Every structure is written in C-alpha cells, then in structure tokens.
Amino acid sequence: MLSDQQNGIPLFRFESLPENGRLQHAVFSRQGGVSPAPFASLNLSVSVPDDHDNVYANRRRAYGIYGRDTDTVVHAHLVHGNDVAVVTQANNGTWIPSVDGIITNEPGCALTMNYADCTPIFLYDPQNHAIGLGHAGWQGTVKDLPGALVRAMQQAFGSQPPNLIAGIGPCIGPCCYEVGDQVITAVHESLADADRLFVEPVGGKRPFSSGGGSHFDMPEANRRHLAQAGVQHIELSRLCTACRTDLFFSHRAERGQTGRFGTIFILQPSAV
C-alpha cells in the first residue's frame, strides 16, 4: 500500500487502484482526530462509547478530504454476515441495515465502513465502472463475504471477475490472530486445504492469550475466496492492525477498549 497524509490524517491507498479522477479511496489511520483515549484519536464509529460529537468531528475531518460529510456517504450496519446491498446516491447519509458488503455503479456515491481487526475488501470494475466495499471478520470470512461481493457485482452490473481489481486492507494478521476450535472448525468447513491457513506464531509470539490456540491467516483466507470467485488482480496490504496499534484500532490487541478506523470508496463520473 501507499501511505499519504492529508488534513493531518495519515491514510493508505492501494497501488493497484487507479487514482485517475474516476475513483477515490482510502483506508484512514487512527491518527489525526479529536477523540480521547481509548478512542484516540480518529474514531469514526458511534458503536463504541466515544462522545458522538467527537465522532462527527472526526468524520468531518476524514470525509472532508474528499468533500464529504456524514450525510453525503453511505454507511453500513455491519453484522458479520455475507449479505450485500446495491446502493445509489439516494442512500448517501443513510445506514444500510444488516449488510457487510455494499456495491454501486452510480457516480457520486461514496461507500464507507469501519473496522478494528476485521478485513476491508475493496473491489473495482474498470470495465463497468462499479465498486464494492466489504467487511470480513472471521465469520464473514468463513461465510465467503468476498465471494458474495464478487457475485453481487456480477449480477447487478455484469462484472466479469477476471476484470476486477481487489484490495485487501489492514486487518489482524496471522502473527497475532490466535483462535480456538470454533474458528478452526469453521475455516475447515469453508475452505479446502485449510491447514495451510493456520501458522505457527512468529518467534513464538502469543501476545493476547495464555496460549494453545492456532494462528489464523485471515487475509490469506480472504485472498483465496477472491481467487476462487475468479478475481486475478488482488493486492494485500500486509499491515497487521494488532501489531500497529500506533496506526490502527485493534479490538484484540486493545482488549475491546478501542475505536474503529474507517475506509472510503468513491465512484466518480466516467471520463468522456
């Protein structure tokens, strides 16, 4: 990923997603906002006990980079599932209930989601000028949210998977994501050759548990789902949210006492 700073906010972009005036995107860091600890400082979610005035001020700072505010972006009420909604500019300023994926082909529509270890999934169809944004924790991963996002874009916009460009954003990595039997069983039921998705901790690292569990490679699992859906162009951020709590909120590393960092994905009018 490429790093940048705007309005005092460090942010990240995928090298493979073109910044050519046809679309804009970013993964915001946790820096550059007004919220106090443990939500310091660019918390973009009202689902945690941060003062809502702080959250709205943070959104104005972050979304304002792109000329947006909380009432000119589409939000999603995330439920750790695999449902996907088609949205339009009419949905700007609204919350789409009970979905973990939103897609659009309507210029002017801005998609946003929040995270704190779960996996951001970006999809761009340069042929049909359409975008998708997804949220996959372990539950969304084993329910194949990435594949559901691809199939929704196929059905709604005629997207062809080989033409799609995908980005897998910062999330908790296998270095830090120790999981138990429930997750291990679900992953084996979801993906073939799942043993390769469980790795030994780097240098014996078991930072958040007294031990025994396996370490799950969630970004690789989501990459596999995208590949199985036919996507050929996939960029991984290789940034672990639990390792980099200086840059990102991490529910696991901060034991639930934390905020949510955000993403934004905006479709601009096609070039004439």
**How high is the pLDDT of residue 213?**
73
Residue 131 CA, distance from chain mean position: 13
Q: Is the pLDDT of residue 270 over 70?
A: no
pLDDT bin (cut points 50, 70, 90) of residue 132 is: very high
Q: Which CATH architecture has domain 2-171+227-267?
A: 4-Layer Sandwich (3.60)
Q: CA 222, 228, 232, 233: dihedral to nearest 10 degrees? A: -10
Nearest CA to 29 out of 247, 259, 205 is that of 247
Convert the pLDDT of each residue in 88-126 to its tens digit: 999 999 999 999 999 999 999 999 999 999 999 999 999
**How high is the pLDDT of residue 73?**
97
Convert the pLDDT of each residue in 39-74 to its tens digit: 999 999 999 999 999 999 999 999 999 999 999 999
Helices in 35-175 by DSSP H: which ranges?
52-64, 138-142, 145-157
pLDDT bin (cut points 50, 70, 90) of residue 254 is: very high
Q: Which residue has the higher pLDDT, 158 or 213?
A: 158
- The residues spanned by each domain of the chain are 2-171+227-267
The structure's pTM equals 0.95
Residue 9 DSSP code: E
Q: Give me the count of residues in the chain.
A: 272
Q: Which helix (H) or strand (E) holds 215?
A: strand 214-216
Residue 130: partners with Cβ closer than 8 Å, 6 or more residues away: 103, 104, 105, 124, 153, 156, 157, 159, 267
Query: Which tokens go with 197?
Result: 């998705």
Q: Mean pLDDT across the stretch 240-244?
A: 97
Convert the pLDDT of each residue in 174-206 to its tens digit: 999 999 999 999 999 999 999 999 987 766 555
**How high is the pLDDT of residue 201?**
72
**How high is the pLDDT of residue 203?**
60
Query: Which tokens go with 252?
Result: 């696991």
What is the pLDDT of the chain when averaged over all its residues? 94
**How high is the pLDDT of residue 19?**
80
**How high is the pLDDT of residue 272?**
39
Q: Is the pLDDT of residue 209 over 70?
A: no
C-alpha distances (whole Å) from 174 to each of 106, 119, 169, 237 are: 36, 13, 14, 13
Query: Which tokens go with 28?
Result: 């915001």
Amino acid at 244: R
